[in-house]
């Protein structure tokens, strides 16, 4: 486990779990975006599956894992013992569900221990969605450059990275169950309101109105 001394450390078990979760999510999202298992098998025979997986690793995989690392970094900053643990059953479910055209992804979570104020607890929860919003800002110019330069692969990476990270931010800000939004709302209604409106509003606009990345 990481020591609660303010230093960011990773155990061998945590590194393993991060890599397994990243790989499984990359595969699951590649299958899902290709339209399910049958079409992905066709992509395998056609030689495009590797590209699909790499795009998913760079967009969905990075978005999910940096979201979790955002929680970890913030928790360690507040002196917590914090470590990511993959949920292997849920990762398996993500891959299986993707083959039938429905994706349910819950790769794991950062578990932390130690005394926290309500504000610190809220900021740890907020860190994940904020990381996704920052990533969306990074992916947006890549999407623009790809369109302007006529680079289809860059357009795909930029657009998909933008859409997925906005969706992750918006979804996780829903104030329900174990999602981050519930913890943020309990800490600060104004902070919740601003983050929720921005993330959900942009996600709806990009994903459902313009269909970017899909």
- Share of residues in the chain with pLDDT > 90 (%): 84
* Pairwise CA distance, residues 136 & 92, whole Å: 27
Domain housing 132: 122-214
Q: Are residues 177 and 74 in the same domain?
A: no
Considering the entire predicted model, what is its pTM?
A: 0.91
Q: Are residues 144 and 162 in the same domain?
A: yes
Whose tokens are 């709806």? That residue is 204
| Backbone torsion region of residue 39, taken as left when φ is above 0, otherwise alpha when ψ lies between -120 and 50, otherwise beta | alpha
For 98-135, what is each residue's pLDDT tens digit?
Answer: 999 888 888 999 998 888 999 999 999 999 999 999 99
Q: Are residues 27 and 111 in the same domain?
A: yes
Looking at 115, 142, 174, the residue that finishes a domain is 115
Quick check: helix, strand or coil at residue 109? strand
Half-sphere exposure (CA, 13 Å, Cβ side) for 102? 3
Q: Are residues 102 and 32 in the same domain?
A: yes
Q: Are residues 100 and 129 in the same domain?
A: no
pLDDT band (50, 70, 90) for residue 67: very high
For 169-208, what is each residue's pLDDT tens digit?
Answer: 999 999 998 899 999 999 999 999 999 999 999 999 998 8
Q: Are residues 2 and 103 in the same domain?
A: yes
Q: Are residues 212 and 142 in the same domain?
A: yes
Count the domains in the chain. 2
Contact partners, residue 169, CB within 8 Å, separation at least 6? 129, 130, 132, 133, 136, 195, 199, 202, 203
Would the pLDDT of 4 be above 50? no
Q: What is the mean pLDDT of residues 20-32?
A: 95
Q: Are residues 91 and 168 in the same domain?
A: no
Would the pLDDT of 85 be above 60? yes
Q: Residue 213's pLDDT is what?
A: 81
* Pairwise CA distance, residues 162 & 173, whole Å: 17
Q: Residue 6's pLDDT is what?
A: 60
Q: Residue 3's pLDDT is what?
A: 39
Residue 152 burial (10 A CB sphere; 0-12, 13-18, 19+): exposed
Task: Name the residues annotated as catalytic.
Answer: 68
Tokens representing residue 70 in the block:
């955002």
Q: What is the mean pLDDT of residues 209-214?
A: 86
Q: Residue 1's pLDDT is what?
A: 40
Looking at 63, 81, 115, the residue that finishes a domain is 115
* Pairwise CA distance, residues 119 & 43, whole Å: 48
For 139-152, what is each residue's pLDDT tens digit?
Answer: 999 999 999 999 99
Looking at 77, 96, 115, the residue that finishes a domain is 115
Tokens representing residue 142 in the block:
């890549």
Q: Are residues 135 and 111 in the same domain?
A: no
Q: Residue 197's pLDDT is what?
A: 97
Whose tokens are 């992509």? That residue is 43
The answer to whether the beta carbons of residues 29 and 35 sit under 8 Å apart is: no
The answer to whether the beta carbons of residues 66 and 135 sit under 8 Å apart is: yes
pLDDT band (50, 70, 90) for residue 44: confident
Q: What is the mean pLDDT of residues 1-15?
A: 73
Q: Are residues 5 and 103 in the same domain?
A: yes
Q: Are residues 173 and 204 in the same domain?
A: yes
The answer to whether the beta carbons of residues 126 and 180 sit under 8 Å apart is: yes
- Share of residues in the chain with pLDDT > 70 (%): 97
Q: What is the mean pLDDT of residues 75-104?
A: 94
What single-letter DSSP state applies at residue 206?
Answer: I
* Pairwise CA distance, residues 114 & 155, whole Å: 43
Angle at 166 between CA 161 and CA 167, to 5 degrees: 100
Quick check: helix, strand or coil at residue 100? coil
Q: Are residues 105 and 128 in the same domain?
A: no
């Amino acid at each position: 486990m990481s020591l609660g001394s303010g230093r960011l450390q990773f155990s061998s078990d945590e590194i393993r779990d991060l890599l397994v979760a990243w790989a499984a999510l990359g595969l699951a999202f590649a299958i899902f975006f290709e339209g399910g298992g049958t079409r992905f098998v066709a992509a395998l025979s056609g030689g495009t599956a590797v590209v699909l997986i790499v795009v998913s690793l760079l967009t969905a995989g990075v978005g999910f894992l940096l979201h979790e690392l955002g929680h970890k970094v913030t928790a360690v900053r507040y002196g917590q013992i914090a470590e990511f643990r993959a949920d292997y059953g849920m990762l398996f479910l993500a891959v299986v569900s993707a083959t039938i055209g429905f994706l349910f992804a819950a790769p794991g979570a950062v578990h932390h221990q130690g005394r926290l104020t309500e504000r610190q607890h809220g900021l740890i929860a907020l860190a994940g969605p904020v990381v996704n919003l920052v990533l969306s800002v990074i992916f947006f110019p890549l999407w623009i450059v790809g369109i302007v330069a006529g680079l289809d692969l860059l357009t795909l990476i930029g657009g998909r990275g933008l859409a997925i990270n906005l969706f992750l931010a918006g979804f996780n800000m829903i104030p329900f169950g174990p999602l981050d939004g519930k913890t943020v709302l309990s800490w600060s209604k104004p902070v919740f309101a601003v983050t929720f409106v921005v993330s959900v509003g942009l996600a709806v606009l990009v994903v459902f109105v313009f269909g970017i990345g899909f």
